[in-house]
């Protein structure tokens, strides 16, 4: 099977201005995707396009729009909207596809492209390869009589807000709750707080003033310190943090403790299990061992997939399960939507609290997390871990030291030039010691590799 040239674990992503994240490439990508999706439709050809709040989104929105129009496709422009909103609106508009211009939790100087098919799910490898095959062909503009048109959807945010609220059972509300919401100066800045407020909560907003450059800057789900401090200062019931494009969520309880994706998945799973509605949970290689053991204690089946919410969704679809996700906060409730949706997942956690009249701090204690240490080591070029005997030896030594009481995982990031080293075990000091030791070996080999290039 041929390797994909541009698509990674979650679309195409990189530094703005560095190939392929350039205006000319996005023009060609718009045309290529327009041609592929046009082949699948004999009637009206429509693709919707949304983006997050980073400044380069203006440039890439225009380039992709031009490419799609050249391919004979109409374009519905949503403006800044969460990634899962594009998945939802692709279905409601009966479009051939949805395109998201976003680099998720990355800094403003990165950007990328994600695709959803007509069914609201991320694209298969086969469709991604079809798009890449058109990228190798010359861009040929359709006859002027067949060119597409573009229009802006003025009520996109309102449609999505109503959808999110509708994922709760009839009559459910958030009245009496005081919530701090951190929107990472990203795509949820105008939808997230509104959903919780319209459901009756008192909402204190953080990071809701995007300027094109401050997305994910010292805020959001990857940097929750500002939220933790605000929850304590405001004496709030909890805090909720989204990432830049609204597909990740983290919580902070009323004591200021961070609650990650694994713990949130467990809270949702247990609540659904108590109501007879949890057939199984899909996690990833990075999911905490404590979540797996806690689910097993409840006799809830659990399976691990490769990292990436696309793999989680595939596992859910294969098994007809309804819940899965990642420790990073990607949480998929596939009975409610087709992709990881931070607002929808947050509402499921809040509903579990209200339905059981139990504080989040108590609910999450029922899952005992194993200590983890994660270290990212920068790399350059093609860095195959299997080609470095010293790294393999370091991994083997770590596994012997941890035995059955923990595990070690090394994997290249699918979105950044990094090797991620994760060590997990019962004893924190041992976990940290092993992680630092292995990271040192990887760093030394990576530097040596750079010198050899």
Which residues are paired to 179 by β-bridges? Answer: 203, 238
Q: What is the distance, to the nearest Å, from the Cα of residue 266 to the centroid of all Cα atoms in its chain?
A: 18
b/e map 337-369, b = 16+ CB within 10 Å: bbbbbbbbbbbbbbbbbbeeeeebeebbeebeb
* Residues linked to residue 421 through DSSP beta bridges, in sequence order: 375, 410
Which one, of 47, 148, 141, 142, lies nearest residue 100 by Cα?
A: 47
Catalytic residue among 56, 102, 104, 373: 104
Dihedral pair phi/psi, residue 397, rounded to 5°: -65, -40
Classified as helix, coil or strand, 342 is helix
Contacts of residue 350, Cβ cutoff 8 Å, sequence gap at least 6: 174, 177
Determine the Cα angle at 308 with ends 304 and 310, to 5°: 95
Q: Determine whether 133 is exposed, middle or buried from the number of CB atoms within 10 Å of its CB (0-12, 13-18, 19+).
A: middle
Can you give the C-alpha Rg of the chain in angstroms?
A: 22
Q: How far apart are CA 306 and CA 128, in angstroms?
A: 18
Q: Is 38 a catalytic residue?
A: no
Distance separating alpha carbons of residues 305 and 170, to the nearest angstrom: 34
Question: How many Å separate Cα 240 from the centre of its chain?
Answer: 15
Catalytic residues: 104
């Amino acid at each position: 099977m041929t390797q994909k040239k541009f698509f990674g674990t979650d679309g195409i992503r990189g530094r703005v201005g560095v190939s392929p994240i350039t205006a000319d490439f996005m023009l060609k990508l718009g045309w290529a995707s327009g041609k592929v999706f046009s082949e699948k439709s004999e009637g009206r050809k429509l693709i919707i396009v949304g983006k997050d709040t980073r400044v380069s989104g203006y440039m890439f929105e225009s380039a992709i729009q031009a490419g799609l129009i050249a391919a004979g496709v109409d374009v519905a422009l949503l403006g800044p909207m969460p990634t899962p909103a594009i998945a939802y609106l692709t279905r409601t508009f009966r479009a051939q596809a949805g395109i998201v211009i976003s680099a998720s939790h990355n800094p403003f100087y990165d950007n990328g492209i994600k695709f959803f098919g007509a069914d609201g799910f991320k694209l298969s490898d086969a469709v991604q390869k079809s798009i890449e095959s058109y990228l190798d062909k010359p861009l040929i503009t359709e006859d002027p009589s067949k060119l597409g048109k573009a229009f802006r959807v003025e009520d996109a945010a309102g449609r999505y807000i109503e959808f999110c609220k509708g994922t709760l059972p009839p009559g459910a509300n958030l009245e009496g709750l005081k919530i701090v919401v951190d929107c990472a100066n990203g795509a949820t800045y105008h939808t997230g707080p509104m959903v919780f407020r319209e459901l009756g909560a008192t909402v204190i907003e953080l990071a809701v003033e995007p300027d094109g450059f401050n997305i994910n800057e010292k805020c959001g789900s990857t940097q929750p310190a500002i939220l933790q401090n605000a929850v304590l200062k405001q004496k709030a019931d909890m805090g909720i943090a989204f990432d830049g494009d609204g597909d990740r969520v983290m919580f902070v309880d009323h004591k200021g403790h961070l609650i990650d994706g694994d713990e949130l998945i467990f809270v949702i799973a247990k609540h659904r299990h108590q109501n007879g509605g949890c057939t199984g949970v899909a996690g990833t290689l990075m999911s905490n061992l404590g979540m797996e053991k806690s689910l097993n204690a409840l006799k809830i089946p659990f399976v691990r997939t490769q990292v990436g919410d696309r793999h989680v969704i595939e596992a859910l679809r294969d098994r007809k399960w309804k819940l899965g996700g990642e420790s990073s906060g990607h949480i998929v409730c596939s009975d409610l939507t087709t992709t990881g949706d931070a607002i929808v997942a947050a509402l499921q956690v809040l509903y579990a609290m209200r339905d059981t009249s139990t504080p989040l701090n108590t609910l999450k204690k029922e899952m005992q997390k194993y200590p983890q240490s994660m270290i990212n080591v920068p790399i350059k070029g093609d860095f195959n871990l299997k080609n470095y005997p010293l790294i393999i030896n370091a991994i083997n030594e770590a596994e012997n030291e941890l035995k059955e009481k923990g595990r070690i995982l090394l994997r290249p990031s699918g979105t950044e030039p990094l090797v991620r080293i994760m060590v997990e075990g019962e004893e924190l000091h041992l976990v940290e010691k092993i992680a630092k030791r292995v990271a040192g070996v990887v760093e030394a080999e990576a530097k040596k590799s750079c010198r050899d290039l």
